[in-house]
Chains A and B, each alone.
Chain A
Amino acid sequence: MTKTLITRRSVLAGTGALLAAPSIRPSMAQSAPIRIGVLHSLSGTMAISETALRDTVLMMVEYQNSRGGLLGRRLEAVVVDPASNWPLFAEKARELLQVHKVDVTFGCWTSVSRKSVLPVFEELNGMLFYPVQYEGEEESRNIFYTGAAPNQQAIPAVEYLMSADGGDAKRIALLGTDYVYPRTTNRILRGFLNSKGIADADIMEEYTPFGHSDWQGIVARVKRFAAEGKKTAIVSTINGDANIPFYRELGNQGIKAEEIPCVAFSVGEEELAGIDTRPLVGHLAAWNYFMSVQSPANTRFLELWRAYIRNPRRVTNDPMEATYTGFSMWAQAVAQAGTTAVDAVRTAVIGQKFDAPAGYTEEMLPNHHLSKPVMIGEVQADGQFNIVWKTQNAVPAENWSQFIPENANRRRG
């Protein structure tokens, strides 16, 4: 397994910043740098999504250094590649904490990789910022979750489908990839739908392996499921590149968004970048940020990203925004605590507020999750999303879902 200690570009940029501003921060070069661990898959099935998150962290390190670093110290990224291999995530996390002695780590995409590194971060008292929407049911003192909990994505999306604007859906097909995130999310959604008076007979649930490509049977069954005289919608927790043949089959079998809309929780701008979206116009995605958001903070974010990546075709998406927000909050907390020591920074991170690109002020809550706005976007022909619905305010995260019966006795975050 190869590992890269910081990319060439960020070294150049970092040195550039040092050379350009030696008089401003003379102490910066002398003291030991603050080390930032980057734990994202750069090869294997998840590389498609996670590579952009590595780029986002490196962009933030470069940006922070150009502003004079933190506490008068330079920031240095330590990039490792866990290669979409879940046990390797734990080994790499240990390497980051024990060998490279990183002060904070940004990483993981799939829930299974996060579950794999969690004991390592707890044992060695590290700090991980996890930037992806997930199924909840977790709260570690060593992890900050900057993506959405189910009440900030899945439930509002289904509520939208059941509203007049979303098409008054009365029957729901839950399609997902076969692993912990889709199964837990669908369990929560089933509880929610039952509480709204939708019987189990009106819910269809199917799972497929990672990378599934033969969708003809499932899509045909969804069509039949929709012929019961009740408005039907699809809720997709399909992950990774299986989405492409899935959407192609929806198009080929003539499923129109105005007949059977499909709302996805893991399809964003980055995933749509490689496909012809014209047959998909009108299908939906629920996130807490879209690249098409109009806000001054998003304009700054996009400018920063374009200046760093220098490729006009590269897009931004929700987990990138969550990485950006998480990094900014961590930097604020370090500045406030005056140290990078994990325990001091943890106390300081809670309560941090940040004007996020989503256009709302987000706050880190005591349950280590964020308050975030919820947005529903419709796919457009150019691969971007047209925001058709969003919440008035940022919604606080409920990581322990009230729709899972076992959580009845838990404290609410």
Chain B
Amino acid sequence: MRRIAILLLVLLAPLAGHAQDAFEAALAGLGGGFAQQAEAAERLGMLGDPRAVPILRALSDGRLLRAGDGALLVREGDRNTFALTGAAAEISGAEPVRINNRVRAALRGALGRLSLVSPDQAERLAAAEAVFRSRAAENIPLLEAALARENVARIRERMELALAASRLAAGDEAAKRAGIAELGASASTEARAVLLESRAAAPALAAEIDAAVTAIDRRLAIRHAAETFFQGLSLGSVLLLAALGLAVTFGVMGVINMAHGEFVMLGAYTTFVMQEALRGIPALAPWSLPLSVPAAFLVAAACGAVLERGLIRHLYGRPLETLLLTFGVGMMIQQAVRLGFGAQNREVTSPPWMQGTLELAFGVTVTQNRLWILVFSLLVLGLTVAAIHLTRFGLEMRAVTQNRRIAAAMGIRTGRVDAFTFAFGSGIAGIAGVALSQIDNVSPNLGSGYIIDSFMVVVFGGVGSLAGTLVGAMSLGVVNKVLEPYAGVVLAKVFVLVAIMLFIQRRPRGLFALRGRAAEQ
């Protein structure tokens, strides 16, 4: 009703020669209460006056100010202009105009209407999105005009959906039917929501709406399955990163290192330190995350080398003592970090390329940070495999693992190889910390959350096998995510643990049993 009244007002306004006044009157409403603001934003959207765009945008960004006398000002950088005239304003003490979610929704709809034909692609896309959400019959002619001149496929697609949604909101039956058919041909969750919303208002069309929803659901089912699979791989990639270092120290050397999680945590704190250190150097600041990778490797590897040379090497062949010792060292590292950096979490910011979602084929969307971590984990796995199989260090490491005495007889300094192997595994844990700083809280207890999972992956995959670690991590991730919707987060994990226990009963050596120092015992 209100929309129609406003439309009438808009149609009549130019006839009476009051276009200027209508704009001015609507603008004043932006400084009022929330309900008034929402109405004013809607009216400005309907008026179609392009002068409203910067003002509405300023309001939505918190840059619209209200002076003591009620005049509205737009802040651009450090200078203010009058919203109505655009003249420079020298007024101090103006307060920002506050808005709530209702006003925000109205603003987005109005801005959408006004920027459907904007020269900027991103703006047009956002506008199509906004008009889709506000779905009003009055938008039909606007959308038709915009579609006629649009030639970017992605934007056209959104505009067509918006047009279909607007037709569904129209008065006449034929337009409604056309809208339902078009929405039903899409594979969009939003289209589904719009259809179901209009169902209550149009009982005559219920059967058609249901058919359209069923058609959408069929297409969405495949997409949801793909997205769940990706989430599983993503969880698997986190497990893989956390477990990879352990696969080297525990899998190859047979050392039960309970301080492994703390090396992960040291990697995350290195990322934080790098971010703070490079903040002052504008040329390097955007690269702080990639630069943290080698830094975290070195920090964690150095700590690992000290731990191995200083303590662990005296305890080879005594797993219980090693376990207790490394557990104690882990607590000491944790407490040292807590003393040095404080108990509060530290904020590691994500670079822009790790924020938001990415649309893959068939409308499958994945979050950028998770996608990058998946790619990164595979890269780290590849480098680890290469280091073990293609370098001299890797050759010596494998030789010592297979037969320490013969390796020593061949002139390999086994003690040094032990130290390097342990440092290498710890360094990988440090690299994992860089990735985890992007998805978890950088706090002194970051590592303790991953230690159990890491051991679980290594044991399940098969001690000593990197392929086993990969397959183990990924399958645990996917199974976990497939179970989650049915069992909930807590129970899904319990199920996975029980399944692993049963599996280990049948195959004590895990998925990929290998011969190694640990296997010989």
Contacts and interface: CB of A to CB of B under 8 A. Distances in A.
B139 interface: no
A224 B190 CA distance: 9
Interface of B: 34-35, 62, 98, 100-102, 104-105, 108, 133, 189-190, 192-199, 224, 227-228, 231, 234-235, 238, 338, 343-347, 349-350, 355-357, 365, 367-370, 439-441, 443, 445, 449, 481, 484-485, 488-490
A217 B224 CA distance: 11
Nearest to A241: B441
Interface string A207-229: 11101111011101101101111
Given A167-B101, A388-B100, A259 B228 contact: no
Nearest to A168: B102
Given A216-B234, A257-B104, A252 B489 contact: no
A191 interface: no
Contact of A164 (B98, B102, B441): B102
B192 A227 contact: yes
Contact of A258 (B101, B231, B235): B101
A252 B367 CA distance: 6
Interface pairs A-B: 9 shortest CB-CB: A229-B196, A229-B197, A258-B105, A213-B440, A227-B189, A47-B343, A227-B193, A258-B104, A252-B367
Contacts of A257: 101, 104
11 contacts: A42-B343, A207-B490, A217-B231, A217-B485, A228-B193, A229-B192, A254-B357, A274-B346, A282-B100, A380-B62, A388-B100
Interface residue SS majority, chain B? helix
Interface string A224-236: 1011111000000
Contact of B489 (A207, A220, A258, A380): A207
A359 interface: no
B103 to A, nearest CB: 9
A218 B224 CA distance: 13
Nearest to A228: B196
A206 B489 contact: yes
A266 interface: no
Interface in A151-171: 164-167
Contacts of A48: 343-345
Contacts of A43: 338, 343
Contacts of B193: 226-229
Contacts, number: 128
Contacts of B231: 216-217, 220
A378 B100 contact: yes
A212 B196 contact: no
Given A226-B193, A229-B193, A178 B101 contact: no
A66 interface: no
Nearest to A213: B440
A380 B101 CA distance: 12
B481 to A, nearest CB: 6
Interface stretch (A115-123, A243-251, A321-329): A243-251
A11 interface: no
Nearest to A240: B441
Contacts of A245: 439-441
Given A211-B449, A244-B441, A229 B194 contact: yes
Nearest to A211: B449
A282 B101 contact: yes
A386 B98 contact: yes
Most buried by B among A257, A258, A282: A258
B445 A45 contact: yes
Nearest to B449: A211
Contacts of A214: 235, 238, 439
A241 B345 contact: yes
Contacts of B102: 164-165, 167, 258
A139 interface: no
A381 B62 contact: yes
A45 B445 CA distance: 8
Nearest to B62: A381
Contacts of A249: 367
A217 to B, nearest CB: 5
A224 B223 CA distance: 12
A166 B484 CA distance: 31
B433 to A, nearest CB: 13
Interface string A265-284: 00000000011100000100
Contacts of A381: 62
B481 A217 contact: yes
A261 interface: yes
Contact of B485 (A221, A227, A228, A380): A221
Nearest to B235: A214
A325 B341 CA distance: 32
